[in-house]
Chains A and B, each alone.
Chain A
Amino acid sequence: MMALREAFASFRRAPLLSALGVVTIAFSLFAFGLFGLVAVNIRDALQKIEDRVEIRAFIADGTPVEASSAAMGDIQAFPEVLSVKYVSQDDALVRARKELGEFSDVFEPGVLPASLDIKLKPGNRDPSTVMAVANRVKSYDFVDDVRYGEDWVAKLYRLRTIATLVGTGLGLAFAAVAVIIIGATIRIMVMARAKEIAIMRLVGATNGFIRMPFVLEGFIQGVMGGLLALGLTWATSTAISHSFMRTAFFDPTLATLGVVGGALIGLFGSTFAVGRQLRRL
């Protein structure tokens, strides 16, 4: 109880120092949050493109409907497959005319073949899986040809791998910088109260008792800094959405994780800093 009271009292006694702690945590996490925002939007964009990966199996003319229906059941049972849709010759014509716009009269009825449009489950859209499924589909006698945009699937996958690697690397670097800056600030704050710590020890306070108010203070500053960073990131995201382009924001889980992250950095940062100070005394 005394530890909690002391933790709050230090905000009152040294408001500038406490504000410095909160603002440092907030801006460090804000920088990390902006990076996270970019990463989330790139991930969403790639996800949208990836959702369009599909295998189109063209069905030979004169194939009985029963044969293609039976095959649809088989293909639907493949573990990699999300959905299979039968596109008749008429449907194919409608779709082509819609996609080609002013050249819609290029195709005559009956020219375009019927097809099975196969979508794959997330996690099964890498080039090798797509090719393996396409080859299995191709083995049906009535399948004339199979298309799945080999080139762009490979490119998309490469782009995704690069984005993940760069994102993870940059994310770790941003996180490390944030932790270092926050850690240094907390250390300065603890050092500014070295006299208080020394007196506490001399009058017989145990190390655990001395640590507790600092740890709580670090935790509270971390939560406040995390919330401030979240607010700033949200305001930035909203401003970009209104002025330039629609952007995605963190889902509630990620947003909560950000605040929890701030709280943990504050908590562990002060635990480490006060422990170091206690060893020095």
Chain B
Amino acid sequence: MSLVRFLNVAKEYQRGGVALSHASFILHKGEFAFLTGPSGSGKSTILKLIYMEERPTAGDVWVSGVSTREASKKEVSMIRRHLGIVFQDFRLLEDRTAEANIAFALEVTGTPADMIRPRVARVLTQVGLASKGTAYPRELSGGEQQRIAIARALVNDPYVLIADEPTGNLDERATRGVFQLLREINVAGTAVIMATHNLELIRRTDYRTLELNHGRVVFDSAETPPAERPVPSAPAVAPVDHDGNPI
């Protein structure tokens, strides 16, 4: 079942020129896919087209079977409730605790008050920060802040988690911890599409990789027979916990 479908998609910004052209791919349920490529290659544009911050200039993008070209504002809001979105800069509200940041995503979508607390507690446990619920973002490390952002993205039980350079601001250990968390989320059934510059992460796994260059998908591992794929240069590493420590 396809969760996200790009068909011959082009995106041109009025001032920024062509950001994406002839992009076609399908993201299936439960899949984990990397988006990689140099800066300005169109990674973030693909993610923005999925969460409908941008609409395609040509072609079409379907998310959960809905064409984003035709989706009304109301439909966009409804679809976003089933997408978890994580950014490099975390985008947490500094004046609210970790719990409040996560609860915010439920409150603004009209979740009944009595359901909010247990769901917040569940995702805090899932990201390994059950004891940090009352901490403010400034009291947390970068890795912990990103895990709170992931918890916020997860709290609405999304079909797909969209991560735009989620480890871009993190050190090596925190990167490993956050990536491990994303893998666990994927194992639990949520599709993940992650834009990253971190080739080490890509090499460590055999997840699908879409490589972009100058707004074009120049490589899609799903369309390349395994024998023809580049051989990972780094060996797979031992499993780690959410703090990036070897288990």
Interface residues of chain A, those whose CB is within 8 Å of chain B, are: 2, 13-14, 195-196, 198-207, 209-210, 281
Contact = CB atoms under 8 A, between A and B. Distances in A.
A202 B156 CA distance: 12
B91 A198 contact: yes
Nearest to B101: A199
B108 A13 contact: no
Given A195-B91, A199-B93, A2 B107 contact: yes
Contact of A203 (B53, B73, B95, B104): B104
Nearest to A10: B95
17 contacts: A2-B110, A14-B95, A198-B91, A199-B91, A199-B93, A201-B80, A202-B51, A202-B80, A203-B80, A203-B104, A203-B152, A203-B156, A204-B79, A204-B82, A205-B109, A206-B73, A206-B74
A200 B76 CA distance: 13
B157 to A, nearest CB: 12
Given A199-B104, A209-B108, A204 B93 contact: no
A202 B80 CA distance: 6
Nearest to B95: A13
Contact of A204 (B53, B81, B91, B95): B81
Interface in B57-94: 73-74, 77-83, 85, 91, 93
A205 B77 contact: yes
A281 B95 CA distance: 21
B105 interface: yes
A205 B104 CA distance: 10
B91 A210 contact: no
Interface residues of B, number: 24
A200 B53 CA distance: 13
A204 B77 contact: yes
Given A13-B95, A195-B91, A209-B110, A204 B104 contact: no
A209 B107 CA distance: 10
B78 A204 contact: yes
A274 to B, nearest CB: 14
A195 B79 CA distance: 20
A204 B80 contact: yes
A201 B82 CA distance: 13
A199 B79 CA distance: 15
Given A202-B53, A202-B85, A204-B82, 11 more contacts: A13-B95, A198-B91, A201-B77, A201-B80, A202-B51, A203-B156, A204-B77, A204-B109, A206-B73, A210-B108, A281-B53
Interface in B28-55: 51, 53
Contacts, number: 54
Contacts of A195: 91, 93
Contact of A196 (B79, B85, B93, B109): B93
A13 B78 CA distance: 29
Nearest to B107: A2
A128 to B, nearest CB: 60
Contacts of A206: 73-74, 77
A198 B92 CA distance: 11
Nearest to B153: A203
Contacts of A205: 77, 108-109
Contacts of A199: 91, 93, 104-105
Nearest to A202: B85
Contacts of A13: 95-96
B142 to A, nearest CB: 18
A87 B83 CA distance: 91
Nearest to A193: B93
Contacts of B51: 202
Contacts of A14: 95
Nearest to A200: B108
A281 B51 CA distance: 13
A34 B78 CA distance: 50
A204 B82 CA distance: 8
A2 B107 CA distance: 7
10 closest A-B pairs by beta carbon, nearest first, are: A204-B81, A205-B108, A204-B80, A203-B105, A206-B77, A13-B95, A200-B108, A204-B77, A204-B109, A202-B85
Contacts of B53: 202, 281
Contacts of A196: 93
A201 B53 CA distance: 9
A281 B77 CA distance: 14
A215 to B, nearest CB: 15
Contacts of A281: 53
Nearest to B109: A204
A204 B51 CA distance: 10
Contact of B73 (A198, A200, A202, A207): A207
A129 to B, nearest CB: 59
B133 to A, nearest CB: 18
Nearest to B73: A207
Nearest to B78: A204
A204 B105 CA distance: 8
